[in-house]
């Protein structure tokens, strides 16, 4: 009996290892697909920016700070990072000045967290901006924020922002799709077809701009925006093939050229 249990444990271990290998291979394949840079253009490189305050209240502001790559793109990303982590207080591209401004924002947030603490509960705020994907035409950052103010449950919000690799500017709906009177209704139909969880029935467009992923356009909703808290943040990844008629001519040509390569 003991040998039988040992054999079962060994099989379970090997199954777990096999599953881990499959998952890692899939992730690695996706990253290779997302991280390819266009010919003749330097890869965007970053170093970690991590500012922490912990004094009867916790604040953590983090970002992948651009340290190399195309100057126009890097400067645009730096300015966006500072604006996000300081709640729009400023727009700086100099590393030292930006770090000082973000530190000041962390101090201000800490004072607020200290005021929100209740009894033994410590209020917490965490905001991270992570470089998650690079393709021939975009660079993607994920904006993740969580707040725990000692209530029934904390609040979390995660969304992706795509930056045009050529201009350095964040992509908006009007820069991704050709404007038309029927665009929103057609997009809502496609979102409803691909949304997860599947039972969610969106009636409005997400407040956040869509982002360009390796295989399609991602539409992500905030909590409560189109579903109850228990459903998290519904999202829909629509393949480029289903959006071909709606994409701008310029973006379609860049995507097609990339996929051919």
CA distance 223 to 233: 5
Q: H-helix or E-strand containing 218?
A: strand 216-220
The model scores a pTM over 0.85:
no
Answer whether residue 216 is part of any domain: yes
Do 142 and 223 lie in a common domain? no
Do 126 and 179 lie in a common domain? no
Closest CA to 34 of 142, 168, 113: 142
The domain in which residue 221 lies consists of: 171-261
Q: What pLDDT does residue 85 have?
A: 94
Domain boundary among 148, 168, 188: 168
Domain boundary among 168, 197, 228: 168
What are 34-53's pLDDT values in tens digits? 545 555 568 899 999 999 99
Domain boundary among 132, 149, 168: 168
What are 171-183's pLDDT values in tens digits? 999 999 999 999 9
Res. 188: pLDDT tops 90: yes
9-25 mean pLDDT: 37
Answer whether residue 252 is part of any domain: yes
Do 161 and 191 lie in a common domain? no
| Mean pLDDT for the chain overall | 83
Answer whether residue 29 is part of any domain: no
Q: Report the percentage of the chain scoring pLDDT > 90.
A: 56
CATH classification of the domain holding 179: 3.90.640.20
CA distance 69 to 82: 18
Per-residue pLDDT band at 231 (split at 50, 70, 90)? confident
Per-residue pLDDT band at 121 (split at 50, 70, 90)? confident
């Amino acid at each position: 009996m003991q040998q039988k249990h040992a054999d079962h444990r060994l099989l379970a271990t090997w199954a777990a290892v096999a599953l881990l290998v499959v998952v890692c291979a899939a992730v690695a394949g996706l990253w290779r697909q997302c991280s390819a840079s266009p010919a003749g253009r330097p890869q965007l490189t970053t170093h970690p920016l991590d500012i922490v305050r912990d004094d009867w209240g916790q604040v953590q502001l983090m970002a992948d700070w651009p340290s190399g790559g195309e100057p126009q793109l890097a400067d645009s990303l730096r300015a966006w990072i500072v604006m996000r982590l300081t709640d729009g207080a400023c727009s700086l591209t100099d590393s030292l000045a930006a770090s000082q401004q973000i530190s000041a924002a962390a101090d201000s947030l800490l004072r607020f967290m200290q005021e929100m603490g209740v009894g033994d509960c410590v209020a917490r705020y965490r905001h991270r901006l992570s470089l998650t994907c690079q393709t021939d035409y975009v660079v993607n950052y994920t904006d993740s924020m969580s707040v725990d103010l000692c209530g029934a449950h904390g609040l979390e919000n995660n969304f992706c922002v795509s930056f045009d690799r050529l201009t350095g500017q964040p992509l908006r709906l009007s820069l991704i799709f050709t404007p038309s009177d029927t665009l929103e209704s057609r997009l809502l139909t496609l979102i409803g077809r691909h949304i997860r969880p599947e039972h969610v029935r969106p009636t409005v467009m997400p407040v956040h701009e869509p982002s360009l992923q390796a295989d399609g356009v991602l539409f992500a909703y905030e909590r409560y925006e189109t579903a109850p808290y228990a459903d998290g943040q519904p999202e829909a990844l629509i393949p480029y093939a289903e959006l071909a008629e709606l994409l701008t001519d310029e973006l379609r040509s860049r995507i097609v050229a990339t996929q051919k390569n």
